[in-house]
Amino acid sequence: MEIERVERVDHHGIVAGVIKDLGLIERIDFLLGRHPDEKITTGEAVAGMIINGLGFTDRPMTLTPQFFENCPLNLLFREGIEANDFNRFKLGRSLDEIYEFGCSTLFADLANKSCEKEGIDRRFGHLDSTTFSLTGQYFEDSDENAIKITHGYSKDHRPDLKQVVLELLVSQEGGVPLIAKAWDGNTSDNEIFNSRSKALVEALKNSEDPVYLIADSKLYSANNAESLKKLPFITRIPETISSVSEKIKESWKNTTEWLGHKGEKKYQEFTLDHYNISQRWIVVYSEAARNRIQITIAKKVEKEKEKIQKELFHLRAERFECLEDAKRELSKKSKKWEYHELDQLNIEEIKKYIGKGRPKVGVSADKVVYQVNAGFRKKEEAINNFIEEGSCYVLGTNIGKNNLSAKEIIDHYSEQQVVERGFRFLKDPLFFTSSLFIKKQSRIEAMLMVMTLALLVYSIAERRLRHILKKNNATLPNQINKQVQNPTLRWVFQLLDGVCRIKTSVNGVVSYIWTGLTELRPKLLKLLGNSVKDIYQIS
């Protein structure tokens, strides 16, 4: 027996299988069109980029042909496809076609079709934005509508780098991206959220099912109030609004009104009109937030204490011409103290004589100056107020009690982390490594869409696996060999490392042998659908 070729499959068959189940290749080709002389279609090029990106191999997109060199492309795609077909020229042209069609439009269509096939609950959408820092020089795009790579507020804490902004709306169930849009690097969150609110109002005019928009405090502003009136929303009310502090203080005055919630949370609910919107405000107290704010306030108190000690030390060294000047300077400094107040005050008169030596008895001083000696203490009541306010946050919603209770509002808002998980995934250093080093701005916009499409495939595959495990009351071992029903797909990918297909030849007769399919792996792969089973050739 002669071994002709060892083909690496690993977890790439899962990604390819889910792409086939969702019909992404066919849908992209239907929308963007096919060219009779192309070796691979745009849809296949995009699928290749997704499989490469989800390979977590620390390999830039320009080396996609190298990535596919030892893969069974007839299983992942179809017969006749070769690794070199995924060259940078084809990938670049595919990105151009995506951009020309409309990145946001294409993604919304693909996400909508995929969610319909998977039966994903899209009633609750979580909205947020993040920044992607970029290095190098970028060519000015001839299309004036292309995003602008420029400096702006960096959420990556890299103000020295240019950036682009990505807006993402994901489903609460599974964290599946529903809407993705790239913005100029200096676009503010307020502008993004206002624009998305208006777009959702238009999109939901003919919708029969309610769609609830969930976002952080950037959603809630006077400029966005007109759209929020027409849109069921759940958001955190910004602490800069004075009414927030008033409602929190009111809650602490009526501590007997706190209602219990699961975990270490309590809440009180108020109804009011704000920004001409009739809404419910829910003051939420969190024990975890209290523990955090206590540590933060303790550090601030100590820092201010050290600062005041230095100020008073230098103040004692000063001499003031009149008593009022001394009092005024001390008052000016103490007004800036947040956590401390004056405790003791002693202003001494210091007599000055012009002549040399000890002055004679009865001789009047030529000049009198004043020295300040002051002590200070903590403002215990103020510190407690800071801790009480920092232990609470206020959620606002215009959704009636008959639709969602206060407890449900709190639970749904707490799932805002699903969109943040998506951002962490997209920014993983092993995910689409160097893909944003493309020099053309329009292609970067298209690449961000492909990256988000990869997140869609990943999140749908993970949701599918977890759903089937729970439905069948089955489990899989996690990293510490504990049986769980909610494994991460990243861990499942690691479980499949080393799965290969070996092409052998005996007297000219070709056959294939699979290696690495241990007892657990076929059982796992069967849970992910027929397309995945077909790729791994599991009966």
For position 363, what pLDDT does the model report?
65
- CA dist., res. 12 & res. 55, Å (int): 7
For position 206, what pLDDT does the model report?
62
In Å, how far from its chain's centre is CA 428?
A: 12
Mean pLDDT, residues 170-191: 88
> The tokens of 37 are what?
């002389």
320-339, pLDDT tens digit by residue? 888 888 888 899 999 999 99
What angle, rounded to 10 degrees, do the helices at 42-53 and 24-32 form?
Answer: 140
Tell which residue, 377, 375, 379, has the closest CA to residue 316: 375
432-484, pLDDT tens digit by residue? 655 555 678 888 889 899 999 999 999 999 999 999 999 989 888 888 889 99
For position 383, what pLDDT does the model report?
95
Tell which residue, 491, 423, 448, 421, has the closest CA to residue 56: 491
Q: Are 409 and 379 in contact (CB under 8 A)?
A: no
For position 389, what pLDDT does the model report?
92
Q: Are 259 and 290 in contact (CB under 8 A)?
A: no
Please determine, for residue 170, whether its predicted confidence score (pLDDT) is greater than 80: yes
For position 324, what pLDDT does the model report?
87
Q: Could you tell me if residue 124 is left (phi over 0), alpha (psi between -120 and 50 degrees) or otherwise beta? A: beta
DSSP state of 307: H
Mean pLDDT, residues 287-307: 95
Q: Which are the contacts of 135, defined by CB distance < 8 A and separation ≥ 6? A: 161, 162, 437
Q: Are 242 and 418 in contact (CB under 8 A)?
A: no
Tell which residue, 18, 30, 49, has the closest CA to residue 450: 49
> The tokens of 51 are what?
């499989």
> The tokens of 69 are what?
């060199």
Residue with tokens 């993705």: 180
Specify the 3-state DSSP secondary structure of 171: strand
- CA dist., res. 381 & res. 390, Å (int): 14
Please report, in angstroms and rounded to a whole number, the separation of the first and last CA atoms in the chain.
Answer: 25
Q: Are 170 and 422 in contact (CB under 8 A)?
A: yes
97-101, 179-183, 246-250, 390-394: segment of lowest average pLDDT: 179-183
DSSP state of 241: S
Tell which residue, 502, 391, 448, has the closest CA to residue 72: 502
Please determine, for residue 144, whether its predicted confidence score (pLDDT) is greater than 60: no
Q: Are 287 and 265 in contact (CB under 8 A)?
A: yes
DSSP state of 440: B
pLDDT band at 6 (very low <50, low <70, confident <90, very high): confident
| pTM, rounded to two decimals | 0.85
Query: Positive or negative, the Cα torsion across 65, 67, 68, 70?
Result: positive
Per-position DSSP letters for 408-430, written without gaps between them: HHHHHHHTTHHHHHHHHHHT-TT
Tell which residue, 92, 18, 24, has the closest CA to residue 444: 92
Strand positions, DSSP E, 30-108: none
Please determine, for residue 40, whether its predicted confidence score (pLDDT) is greater than 90: yes
Per-position DSSP letters for 8-21, written without gaps between them: E-TTHHHHHHHHHH
Per this entry, what is the length of the chain? Answer: 539
Q: Which are the contacts of 239, defined by CB distance < 8 A and separation ≥ 6? A: 217, 245, 393
CA distances from 318 to 48, 368, 395 (A): 74, 13, 50
Per-position DSSP letters for 315-375, written without gaps between them: HHH--BSSHHHHHHHHHHHHTT-SSEEEEEEEEEEEEE-SSSSSPPTTPPPSEEEEEEEEE
- Mean of the per-residue pLDDT values for the chain? 87
